[in-house]
Amino acid sequence: MNQPHRLALRVYYEDTDAGGIVYHAQYLCFAERARTELLRAVGTDHARLLAEHGGVFAVRRAMVEFRRAARLDDLLVVETRVTRTTGARLGLRQDIKRDGQGLVLIDVELAFISPDLRPLRLPAGLTKGFADMEFLPSTSA
């Protein structure tokens, strides 16, 4: 079984809306923060991926289920698991939780592309890093 990467974050006023809860689109921002920290966890970041591999990640598809609402001052954890690394595509399942209870579930597919939008192969070091950190399920490595 693979391990999730975990990012903890606090809900601030900027994240909430007049319904008194976190604005729905904001969970995609939380998920993106977690993906950025996932890169850092395997020893790279956006600038290095561009400098060393000539690519950036672009979101291609997201499926989001909003189950329960988070509120101001909540402490949330984004659990990120790598579900797929094939060709130019990176699949992730991101589970945003409060006190261990799932609030929002995001399945996201990213493409690794050049600045002029051509698909690039995922850097081998990245896939290896995911495997070494056990973020990858054994069947997809």
Among 24, 52, 86, 102, binds a second copy (CB under 8 A): 24
Decide whether 33 or 121 has the Cβ nearer to a second copy: 33
Owner of token pair 């809306």: 17
Catalytic residue among 17, 45, 73, 132: 17
Distance, CA of 100 to CA of 34 (rounded, Å): 17
Whether the CB-CB separation of 23 and 15 falls below 8 Å is answered with yes
What are residue 66's phi and psi, to 5 degrees?
-100, 105
Q: Would you call 17 a catalytic residue per the annotation? A: yes
Close Cβ partners of 42 (under 8 Å, ≥ 6 residues apart): 126, 129, 130, 132, 133, 135
Site mask for a second copy (CB under 8 A), range 44-83, x = bound: -xxx--------x-xxxxxxxxx--x-xxx----------
Told to check if 23 binds a second copy by CB under 8 A, we report yes
Give the integer Cα–Cα distance in Å for 127 and 89.
11
Q: How far is the CB of 130 from a second copy (least distance, A)?
A: 19
CB 36 within 8 A of CB 110: no
Window of 13-21, 86-94, 118-126, 128-136 that interacts with a second copy by CB under 8 A: 13-21
Q: Are 26 and 13 spatial neighbours (Cβ–Cβ below 8 Å)?
A: no
Residue 120 CB, shortest distance to a second copy, in Å, is 15
Return the number of the residue (2 or 112) whose C-beta is nearest a second copy: 112
Q: Which residue ranges make up the site for a second copy (CB under 8 A)?
A: 10, 12-14, 16-21, 23-26, 28-29, 32-33, 36-37, 45-47, 56, 58-66, 69, 71-73
